[in-house]
């Protein structure tokens, strides 16, 4: 007899959802036959998430060491804050989800040894890493079950893999907005300030400068990949959504990468000259976006009360300083239009301050290079976004003409089964 599994069914109403229990029936064998296999591309996606997460922490801890040795207390405090605070929040979220899963009879009871391992890794502030390792484990075991011909076990393990992957992707998204993005912004600001002061720049260790550059680069890549991975994972975890092909994943990554570079560079340019102004812009942006979401955009299935909707709106408003995340199902073109229009005005204001305040004759390459890079990456992000929604989005009318055989086969994209997921939405 097949085990029960839990599926989240989203209704047409954006604020409602129901959880059904799928029991074994006459169509069970047919459903199992349609379960896709855990392929190489999924392994690459999860591995990339693990690598970027580990690199973020290694580089940040390395910077902590250099700042402490050089006696740079302010930089040390900022870097340490953006390491500890996100880790604590992610650990709390992950532990709560484990407790919820423990109370769900359809998911089974983990062993004492597994609970001990979870607690140890959570205490080490490695919540997303634990989720991704579990996803890899379930995925590989589902692959073994498929080879052995046990379709029922493959179906169960594959759903568990999707569950862990989507949960890990959501935790990684929190981590990027609370850790990677602030770290990249702080290091870019420091680099720009030191580049403007020749004496300070020459006195700074070359190792620290190179490390700051790699921290900023890794942070931007992590932000882009976390957004791409989250959107992809949520679509794969829901049976009412078409799946994103590997070509769409690549284009979406380029879109989020150029958008993150443009946004972070604009804020860093302003922060290097007027840090208080940059802080005021971010706080105002947070307040406006949070109010906009609370007044009509954030009715999602994850919120059981109005209070939870306000808290979610506050959290998303903070994320909107850097990127747009659709809080509910439905058309998002006008939301994207409004968001990018606001970002364009803020970025333009930051560039105006940079051009008026910075001494272009002293460092012309930095002066003009920063402007060209910020403008070009913003325009490229719009181009990639239009490409994605026109040709590579699962519901795009022209996607069929661009679908090619690759790591994500048509069997995988068309015959995906459901899973229970903590992730709240995807547009």
Higher pLDDT, 31 or 357: 357
Give me the numbers of helices (H) and strands (E) for the chain, helices first please.
15, 2
Task: Give the confidence band of 353 by pLDDT, cuts at 50, 70, 90.
Answer: very high
Which is more confident, 6 or 333? 333
Which segments of 124-180 does DSSP mark as H helices, in order? 127-147, 151-175
> In this prediction, what percent of the chain has a pLDDT beyond 90?
17
CA neighbours closer than 13 Å in the CB half-sphere of residue 267: 24
Entry pTM: 0.78
Using 50, 70 and 90 to split pLDDT, how confident is the model at 242? confident
Work out the pLDDT band at 329, boundaries 50, 70, 90: low
> Phi/psi of residue 302, each to 5°?
-80, -15
Say whether pLDDT at 373 is over 80.
yes
pLDDT of residue 178: 85
pLDDT at 304: 52
382 pLDDT higher than 60: yes
Residue 305 pLDDT > 50, yes or no?
yes
Contact 132, 165 (CB under 8 A): yes
Mean pLDDT (whole number) for 67-94: 83
Minimum mean pLDDT range among 22-36, 148-162, 344-358, 381-395: 22-36
Q: What is the pLDDT of residue 26?
A: 38
- Give the lowest-confidence range in 55-64, 186-195, 300-309, 379-388: 300-309
Q: Which residues contact 387 (CB under 8 A, 6 or more apart)?
A: 251, 255
């Amino acid at each position: 007899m097949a085990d029960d599994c839990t599926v989240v069914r989203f209704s047409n109403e954006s604020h409602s959802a129901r959880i059904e229990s799928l029991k074994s029936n006459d169509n069970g064998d047919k459903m199992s036959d349609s379960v896709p296999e855990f392929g190489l591309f999924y392994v690459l996606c999860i591995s990339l998430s693990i690598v970027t997460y580990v690199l973020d922490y290694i580089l940040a801890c390395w910077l902590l060491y250099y700042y402490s040795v050089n006696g740079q207390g302010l930089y040390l405090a900022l870097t340490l804050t953006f390491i500890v605070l996100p880790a604590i929040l992610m650990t709390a979220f992950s532990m709560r989800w484990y407790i919820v899963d423990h109370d769900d009879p359809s998911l089974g009871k983990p062993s004492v040894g597994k609970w001990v391992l979870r607690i140890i890794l959570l205490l080490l502030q490695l919540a997303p890493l634990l989720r991704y390792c579990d996803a890899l484990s379930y995925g590989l075991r589902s692959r073994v079950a498929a080879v052995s011909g046990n379709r029922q076990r493959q179906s169960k393990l594959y759903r568990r893999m999707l569950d862990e992957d989507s949960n890990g992707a959501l935790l990684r998204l929190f981590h990027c907005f609370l850790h990677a993005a602030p770290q990249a912004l702080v290091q870019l600001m420091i680099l720009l300030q030191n580049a403007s002061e020749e004496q300070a720049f020459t006195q700074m260790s070359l190792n620290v400068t190179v490390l700051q550059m790699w921290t900023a680069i890794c942070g931007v890549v992590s932000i882009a990949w976390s957004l791409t991975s989250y959107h992809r994972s949520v679509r794969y975890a829901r049976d009412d959504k078409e799946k994103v092909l590997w070509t769409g994943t690549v284009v979406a990554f380029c879109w989020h990468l150029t958008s993150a570079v443009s946004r972070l560079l604009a804020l860093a340019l302003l922060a290097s000259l007027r840090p208080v102004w940059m802080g005021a812009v971010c706080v105002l942006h947070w307040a406006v976006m949070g109010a906009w979401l609370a007044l009509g955009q954030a009715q999602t299935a994850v919120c059981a009360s109005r209070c939870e909707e306000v808290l979610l709106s506050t959290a998303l408003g903070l994320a909107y300083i850097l990127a747009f995340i659709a809080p509910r199902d439905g058309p998002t073109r006008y939301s994207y239009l409004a968001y990018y229009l606001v970002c364009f005005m803020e970025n333009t204001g930051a560039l105006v301050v940079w051009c008026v305040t910075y001494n272009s004759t002293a460092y012309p390459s930095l002066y003009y290079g920063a402007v060209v890079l910020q403008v070009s990456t913003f325009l490229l992000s719009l181009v990639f976004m239009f490409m994605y929604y026109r040709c590579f989005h699962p519901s795009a009318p022209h996607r069929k003409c661009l679908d090619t055989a690759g790591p994500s086969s048509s069997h995988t994209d068309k015959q995906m089964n459901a899973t229970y997921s903590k992730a709240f939405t995807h547009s």
